[in-house]
Structures are given as C-alpha cells and as structure tokens.
Structure 1
C-alpha cells in the first residue's frame, strides 16, 4: 500500500526560514528529519510506503491538494511569519491555519487532517476540532519513535476508514 501525505508546516516556508540563521533552525530541521525517518520505516514494519509532499505555502494548500491528491494532511497550526505578513500580528499565528483547515474541510470533507502545534491548549484544540481536524497531536512528541509507531497505525486506520467510506459511496 502506498500513502501520500501532504505535510504543511511553516518550517518549509522561505518566509519562515529567512527570519532565522541556520543555527537557530537546527531543532526544526532535526525534528523534520526524525519524523521523516520514522515514517520512512513504515514500509518494512507495516507494509505501507509513505510519500511526504512538503510545503510551506499555506495559502495555496487547496490547489496543492487538488494537484497532489494526498491521502492525508499533516497541518501545523502555528504560522507566525504568515500572520505577520497577513495581519501585521504574529499573535494571530493560529488564525491562518484554522481558516485553512475550514477551507480544506469544505473542499475535501473526507480527507483526514492531523493538526499539531508545539504547546496546544484546550481552546486551540477545540477550535481545531470545530474547524474539521481529524486528530490533534503535540508537535514535539511527533519526533519520538514511541509516538511514530502508533502514528503509523493511526494513519493506517484513517486510510481504511476513508477507503470504506469511498467504497460505500460507490455502491
């Protein structure tokens, strides 16, 4: 089985990356590398080949979804540089992602969307679920092997659910 994941994170955005020197991006880069490695091991462990499509362009995510046809979206909920550009206020960093999540859900109602951020609070999680999040995770722990293993099974479950809905819609 092959799975395509659209990975939307400001880490991949030139707008974000140009704000910080390379030595300050090491944590983010190591986090991405660890997550990529953990997902890459899926084929050997559960027979699922995972392809990651990475993007830091949250404004064009709907077009990217149409083009790439991912099976799942991983969406960071904290976009401070985009919030500064759009609203002139970094404190509105989650507003952009919540609006994007709503637009994804309107256009792609059954596409699983896993949302994450560094330190979520209950209000943000409730807002994400109300906007259409399938599952909410904490960003830091996504890099841990102990979390990546169950995450693979969650991904597998979500894909089976999506396939089942698609098949029942065809009958």
Structure 2
C-alpha cells in the first residue's frame, strides 16, 4: 500500500506530501543538488553522488513497485521542495525494517515539512508491517535529534569521528531507531 496525498498549511504556505512519481525526477535531481549545498547535516557535499534525471526515474520506479520502499515528496505550487525515503532490505533477517532519510530546501525550513514527511513515513511503516525504522543523524544536529526523539526514536549508538568535513574536522554520527 502506498500512501495517498496529504495537504498541510503552515504560516500561509500550503504544501502537499505525496508519493513520488516519475515526472518528479528532474525536479528531484535539482532539489537534491541544491539541498546538498545548503546544509552540512547530510552525508554528501554538493555534487557528490549526484543523481541525474534518469537515475531518479529508475529510483522512483523501483520504489513504486517495491513494497518495502517509500519515496515521498513535499510539493509547493507544483515544485518539489523536500523529499524522504524509506528503503527496505530484501534479506529476510532485515525484512522487518527500513532506513529513513529526508531533505528539505532551506527556504522551507520551519514549515513542518521534514516533520510531516517523517510522520507520514511512520504512518506508512506502521500500516505496512514494518517494525523498525532506522536513521543516521549528525550529533551536532540537535533539532533533528529532538524531533526524532519526540516521535519515538531512541539513540542506538554513536559513530565517533564518522564524518570528515571539508574543514578537516571530524564529526560524530548518532544512530537512531524506532521500534513498533
């Protein structure tokens, strides 16, 4: 079961969260590239692990047919401004869980888009027999950690000196999980 779209209105901005479709691919490629340059909270620097339009088309098609994957987009005025993915695993011993990731354009921070993408993903997991969601977050991203804890995630571990930034400083990664 894939989700139906949900509409939200926050601070005068209306946005929709819905499943990604193939026609979102070009917009997603551009948005992901932009998000990677707007924050240091993600795994990539801008341009690294770039996914072009055909790459996103393939990813969306795969996620659409795979019952253990969910690819959501947040859309304002027909433009993708954020996205999230839950990616399952085909191995039987991991079939009960998905890994969650999210990104939102900086201009749209503070509108609850990340929180609503997460909430819709949790709802999808809970209604589809997914027992565990996992994610990784930089230890310095206190607001994201607080959000995750607020919806039931717990710290499961700390990866020390896990990321090396362009300034040559190391950063820790918090491994979090939510078990239903």
Select the structure with the greater relative contact order (CA < 8 A; seq sep ≥ 6): 1
Which structure has more helix as a fraction of its residues? 1
Same fold (TM over 0.5): no
TM-score, length-normalised on structure 1? 0.35
